[in-house]
Amino acid sequence: MDVREVFAFLFFSALEWLTLFVFTFAIFKFQLPGYWGRLLLSSVVLSFLSYMIFVEFDLNYFAPLVQLPIVFLFYWQYFRIPIFYAWLMNVNGYIFYTLLQAIIILIFELNGIKIEPNTPAAFIVQSIAIVIINVLAWWLIRTNWGFTFVPDTDRVKMNWNKLNLKLLIISFLGYLGLSAYQYLFFSKIAPVIGLIAGLAVYGFLQYLVIKREFQ
């Protein structure tokens, strides 16, 4: 890759991470003005992580397996969100973004457009996903819709009831399932089945999240 290609990769990757953070914060009704500096810095740092995973080490199929635990550390240690909720927010936002991008890629490929990393077609897919997610985040903020049970401070005592344990288990299974799905989807092994399974897991996770909101 030449310098322009590296810059393009880092630019779009940083935009994706920033979009993912903004969307996740919007879902859980966090006030963005107090986080912009940390969000921007985290997005830039994670874009370099993505570059290492996708370009330097060529670990395309295993990106979620590597990225999710690292992103979780940002939510937990950098944004100071309690460990359980940090993991839940991390998985919830990441799965949604990945599934949306997978649907866009599938539509492209069904129309004969092959998507390869760091190509104009890939940048178009990323741009479409970024626009859609930002519109959704704007709508969530504008309508004041979202979940309120996640505290924006780490100075809270965690109540390990049955519902929270279910959320932890399902979110962890979602992480493992997303990692498996990424491999199946991009290796062209039953991508549609993997996508349907991913949507089902995400749907069940959202059911538990909504249930937790009204507990």
CB-hemisphere CA count at 13 Å for 211? 13
Judge whether 169 and 95 are in contact, CB under 8 Å: no
Q: How far is CA 42 from CA 45, 53, 209, in A?
A: 5, 16, 26
What is the pLDDT tens value at each position of the chain, 215 positions in all? 788 889 999 999 999 999 999 999 999 999 998 899 999 999 999 999 999 998 888 888 888 889 999 999 999 999 999 999 999 999 999 999 999 998 998 899 889 888 877 788 989 999 999 999 999 999 999 999 999 999 887 777 777 888 889 999 999 988 988 888 777 776 777 677 778 888 888 899 999 999 999 88
Those residues with Cβ within 8 angstroms of residue 31's Cβ, 6 or more apart along the chain or in another chain:
152
Provide the whole-model pTM: 0.93
Helix (H, G, I), strand (E, B) or coil at 214: coil
